[in-house]
Amino acid sequence: MFVIITYDVNEKRVGKVCKKLREHLTWTQNSVFEGEITKGQFLKCRQQVEKIINPEEDSIYYYIVENPKNIKKEFKGTEKGDFDIFF
């Protein structure tokens, strides 16, 4: 499946959330991760992230497309991705 995860998490917890999502998915920009993932991995990732967040303050959206062929990604502008974070 292909998933897009967007989050709005308090800065106290955002580092941990990012680190966990990065284990499973690719960071694209701001608070957005995406990628192909198995259902099992996704459930594991989700469970781990939801242990970190405070559901009374934070929010996470999951957009799930079972067949990756059914989603098309397009882009305009300057590419950032993981590169900018680390270098």
* Annotated binding-site positions: 8
Least distance from a copy of itself to the Cβ atom of residue 85, Å? 12
CA pseudo-torsion sign 5, 45, 26, 63: negative
Contact between 40 and a copy of itself (CB under 8 A)?
no
Query: 78 or 86, CB closer to a copy of itself?
Result: 78
Contact between 6 and a copy of itself (CB under 8 A)?
yes
Residues 2, 65: contact at Cβ < 8 Å? yes
Summarize the annotated binding site for Mg(2+) as residue ranges: 8
